[in-house]
Structure 1
């Protein structure tokens, strides 16, 4: 049994890194039951990451110039038109796009794959470990159930494509449940050898690792700004133009057309074809600025910071009795800063509610919009996920491990009840948020 008056000790062999990047929620204090405030620990960044300080400052500078895009004659209109097109170039550069690839701005990864699904001229093969954003949009979908190892799963994928060719293979870059990173280069080679293209969901991977579309042989990738420290409603689909030029316009409206007559519409080619309506100028500018800031932080620094915290998190969880960390593959050698656990006893929903209400720690519970994978690897109905980011620190990890140990051993200090909205304190004396 873990004593309730002990903190989970950090490993002396590991560094204790502080935040790598400045985020707008740094130093945020939240109320806890019984009165008082504590520094908020955000371990739910895999769902939505806060904005980088640099992104928020950039948005503040952009807003005075907000105006119509592409057709306005005024200086602000011309300025924001340049911002949008510069953002397109910045996204292409960041992901290593080929010179003739398209960058189509979308709302998020889900939106991007729903767009791509209208363009695929045949079947799409996906794995059962996919987030629903990369599982549900495909119109002619074949789902391959993963094996206990990555090697066996890729062998099965190769056999599936050999037996029944597919136009597209669409896979995640990193699981949002386990954090395990897939060997995208190998999957791209395998798909191309069987005459298929490959699309990659990089919503989880891109905020942690640099993705090079051309070098990896990826045909399409999609990602979301809200997971990449730019939560302003933007995302992108990047990839080969031919399928997208042949597809129907994703949104029918102004900006996507060359000309309109009552009996005929001539649609544009390129990104414009799928970006009808007034664009999310602020979101696109924020996304480009976030990617530039990630580049400034450096790939090596980001990897070392996250690797140290991820090891600290997993090592601490391994010491806790009654806690099981979910894995998808026995041979996965690489993972981003995600750990999903299930409890031998008790409710993860209750634990998550107590983490927030009593300790000021945000996590996520459920099946994480990846139901088939969760159902295959978990023993319980729901899990609890802690996820790290560029603003995470060793103290964040230690506070989580300490609070989790106390809750698993002794339970919450306050009474809770299960409601239609989930577990809630029976008496919640925390002040309600009022934003003027």
Structure 2
């Protein structure tokens, strides 16, 4: 590929604290793969280091160590609840990650529940749902998403048995394109039809506030490892009734209030403990809560403005490179978080990613991003927009986050413009 002069790129606003969480990194390595796993925040690492000398069992002991750890764990739950704007009677259940959280809710669905999703979801929000789920086509716009859902729920109301529950499950922001979905509007449509709604906030929460009360959603799932707390914790937060009525997700110690001599003599507890059997991931919960507290204290508007400027710089730079085609579901001006997927005509995406890593120390993602139906559709649409271009069957993805700099964006653009 020949070297191409790029137009002037957007300048960045300069907030007083561009990285209030103190994201850790390796000097010389450019990490543009935040959407897969974000680096660790200093706030998370410090919280874990402070608690480690006190580490002991949670909910199981009367000693000082155990009581301190139990307090830390339950405080972490409340901090996460506050971060998500949870209602007073919502449950906040610690899980391993978003996939685990969605599977937990899938196991807790009342009998006969119909789940409605879109074909644009991550596999974590496609695969756990029961047979008979409704999968809507990928919409061309946010408005189309709202219309598709309204039509589907109207049809279900006519065809399904009265009184059977319906759950709408939708992403907050696409892990392929970064485009934000109209969550509040979808929630209004769902509730108008008597359905509940789950938001997969794995990609949205690191970039924008997620408030279940303000959005009026019923459940939200997220991962700590995408939220600068890579210690193996995730969260399912939402309405208690389905969760308290369901069999325990992980039967074991801590999930019971009584176990008798016979196998059937078991009384399960209610509340989050019902689904947190076994010794919980104390350090993961504390790390995640520390990041939530740091975000709550930060200037989210300034962080958003800085990310959007980085994103504009990246997208305009990619658009200026010959043979580079961005993938998108909605229009080019649709709101989005700091994720961009693209292809380089005539170049294998895996080979490009390997070249960037070995020659330029730049980490990006290649593949179909655990969203195969969506990614393949977008690749087909990209080929249709660029007739004659030989596009590869997989894509590249660059994703930014706290600590990403203009130098790193420019380094990626320069490396792509000088591919051998």
Which of the numbers 383, 391, 395 marks the counterpart of 2:407?
395
Structure 1 distance, partners of 2:150, 2:345, is: 37
Classify the secondary structure of the residue corresponding to 2:370. Answer: coil
- 1:48 maps onto 2:40 in alignment: no
Label 1:181 to 1:332 Cα distance change in 2 as closer, same or farther (>3 A).
farther
2:127 corresponds to which of 121, 136, 141: 136
**In 2, distance between residues paired with 1:275 and 1:154?**
35
How far off its partner does 1:269 sit?
0.6
Match of 1:324 in 2: 325
Change (3 A) 1:203 1:25: same
Aligned to 1:381: 393
The aligned counterpart of 2:297 is 296
Distance in 1 (alpha carbons) for counterparts of 2:376 and 2:9: 33
- Per the TM alignment, residue 118 of structure 1 is displaced from its structure 2 partner at its CA by 1.1
Give the corresponding residue for 1:81: 70
Q: CA deviation at 1:3?
A: 2.6
Partner-residue secondary structure (3-state), 2:292: helix
Partner in structure 1 of residue 150 of structure 2: 158
State the secondary structure of the residue aligned to 2:418. Answer: helix
After TM superposition, the structure 1 = structure 2 runs for residues 198-217 of structure 1, keeping only pairs within 5 Å, are 198-217=197-216
Tell me, yes or no, if the aligned pair for 2:18 and 2:303 is still in contact at 8 Å: no
Q: Which residue of 2 aligns with 1:431?
A: none
1:11-32 per-residue CA deviation (whole Å, 9 max, x = no partner) reads 2555478952454533x14xxx
Which residue in the other structure is 1:36 paired with?
none
Q: 1:19 to 1:400 in 2, by over 3 A?
A: farther
Distance 1:135 1:118, change over 3 A: same
C-alpha distance in 2 between matches for 1:319 and 1:150 = 27
Partner of 1:345: 346
Residue 62 (str. 1) matches residue 51 (str. 2): yes
State which of 81, 95, 101 in structure 2 corresponds to 1:106. 95
Aligned residue in 2 for 1:244: 243
TM-score (norm: length of structure 2): 0.91
Contact kept, 8 Å, 1:325 with 1:339, in 2: the verdict is: yes
Distance 2:23 2:267 in 1: 45
Partner of 1:149: 141
Q: 2:109 aligns with which of 86, 109, 120?
A: 120
Other structure's SS at 1:245 match? helix
Q: Secondary structure at the match of 2:108?
A: coil
Q: Number of aligned residue pairs: give it.
A: 396
Show the counterpart of 1:183.
Answer: 182
- Among 9, 12, 17, the alignment partner of 1:11 is 9
Q: In structure 2, what is the Cα distance between the partners aligned to 1:280 and 1:225?
A: 12
Counterparts of 2:153 and 2:330, CA distance in 1: 21
In 2, Cα distance between equivalents of 1:338 and 1:226: 16
1:303 Cα deviation (Å)?
0.6
Q: Partner of 1:93: helix, strand, or coil?
A: helix
Question: Equivalent residue for 2:220?
Answer: 221
Counterpart-to-counterpart distance in 2, 1:15 and 1:303: 10
The DSSP-based 3-state class of the residue aligned with 1:118 is helix
Query: Is the 8 Å Cα contact of residues 97 and 212 (structure 1) preserved in structure 2?
Result: yes
RMSD: 1.7
Could you tell me whether the CA contact under 8 Å between 2:23 and 2:402 is conserved in 1?
Answer: no
Q: Which residue number corresponds to residue 196 of structure 1?
A: 195
More moved, 348-357 vs 325-334? 325-334
**In the TM superposition, what is the alpha-carbon distance from 1:376 to its structure 2 partner?**
1.2
Give the structure 2 partner of residue 310 of structure 1.
Answer: 311
Distance in 2 (CA, whole Å) between partners of 1:128 and 1:16 is 38
93 and 12 in structure 1: CA distance in 2 versus 1, 3 angstrom threshold: closer
Q: 3-state DSSP class of the match of 1:86?
A: helix
Q: Secondary structure at the match of 1:248?
A: coil
Partner of 1:333: helix, strand, or coil?
Answer: coil
Q: Secondary structure at the match of 2:38?
A: coil
2:388 alignment counterpart? none
Q: For 1:387 and 1:44, how far apart are their aligned partners in 2?
A: 5
Output the TM-score relative to the length of structure 1. 0.88
Give per-residue Cα distances to partners, 1:268-306, cap 9 Å, x unaligned: 011010000000010000000011111222211211111
Distance 2:7 2:334 in 1: 25
Judging changes above 3 Å, is the alpha-carbon distance between structure 1 residues 12 and 49 closer, same or farther for their aligned structure 2 residues? closer
**What corresponds to 1:91 in structure 2?**
80
User: Following TM superposition, by how much is the alpha carbon of 1:346 offset from its aligned partner in structure 2, in angstroms?
Assistant: 1.2
**Runs of at least 5 residues in structure 2 that lack an aligned partner in the other structure:** 158-164, 381-391
Give the SS at the match of 1:48.
coil
4+ runs deviating over 6 angstroms? none
* Structure 1 spans left out of the alignment, 5+ residues: 30-38, 412-436
